[in-house]
Amino acid sequence: MSNKDTYDPQEWAQLLRSPTMAAMAVTAASPSGPVGIIKEMFAAGRMLADVKVKGSNNKLISALVADLQTPEGRSMGREGMQADLDGASPADIRARAIDALKHAAAIVDAKGSPQEAADFKEWLRELTQKVAEAAKEGGFLGFGGVQVSGEEQTALNEISQALGLSEAARIL
């Protein structure tokens, strides 16, 4: 089983960024206004909080969430992200976030056990699914709309592919 010490500082920073980048990839696919964006970011935060409270059988996920609770971990996770995303269009943010997830997947595939890597990537995919489902898309004042927009579904499929997982479940 791998832990923080298994990864060099750049690799660890990439892994620390992966939950945020996963959420941003979905949010940028179909921005749903300020309230929707807040709901989507809270969904990602809940996933992290669940690991903090309930723990995880995956030591890598536990170590990552524990490190994100520290000022150093948060700083390391944000390092380079703002410069990477400042001034970018939603399409560019989505593409860069998906590329970051592909890079994170390659890191855990190279240094983690096969089961640990699979669990980590599935956890990221679950996070993106919860983000996509957090706010209805295309409705008016909370009426109508769909739980997951076509753009979000496309992003979920691209994320699954970047993580080396089969296509995401389709939500209609």
| Structural domains of the chain, count | 1
Predicted local distance difference test score (pLDDT) of residue 33: 74
> CA quadruple 92, 94, 100, 102: dihedral positive or negative?
negative
Mean pLDDT calculated for residue range 141-160: 81
Confidence at residue 66, expressed as pLDDT on a 0 to 100 scale: 92
Note whether residue 71 is domain-resident.
yes
Residue 170 lies in a domain: no
Answer for the pair 44, 109: CB distance below 8 angstroms, yes or no. no
Q: What mean pLDDT is predicted for residues 73-100?
A: 84
pLDDT, greater one: 30 or 53: 53
Phi, psi of 112 (to 5 degrees): -95, 170
pLDDT score for 167: 64
Task: Let me know: does 128 contact 157? Beta carbons within 8 Å.
Answer: no
Tokens at 146, concatenated: 């769909």
What pLDDT does 172 receive?
Answer: 39
| pLDDT for residue 73 | 83
Q: Give domain status of residue 47, yes or no.
A: yes
Residue 67 inside a domain? The answer is yes
**What average pLDDT does this structure show over 70-80?**
81
Q: Which domain holds residue 84?
A: 4-162
Q: Mean pLDDT over residues 11-37, rounded? A: 88
Q: Is 171 within a domain? A: no
Is the residue at 172 inside a domain? no
Q: Do the domain assignments include residue 112?
A: yes
CA 63, chain centre distance (Å):
16
Question: Radius of gyration of the chain from Cα atoms?
Answer: 15
Taking only the tens place, the pLDDT of each residue in 38-69 is 888 889 889 899 999 998 899 999 999 999 99
Q: Is the pTM of this model over 0.75?
A: yes
Tell me which of 55-64, 134-143, 147-156 is least confident. 134-143
pLDDT greater than 50 at residue 171: no
Residue 139 belongs to a domain: yes
Q: Where are the alpha helices (DSSP H) in the chain?
A: 9-29, 33-54, 59-68, 71-78, 81-85, 90-111, 114-133, 150-162
- C-beta separation of 128 from 25 below 8 A: yes
Can you tell me the distance from the alpha carbon of 151 to that of 53, in angstroms, rounded to the nearest whole number?
A: 32
What pLDDT score was predicted for residue 101?
96
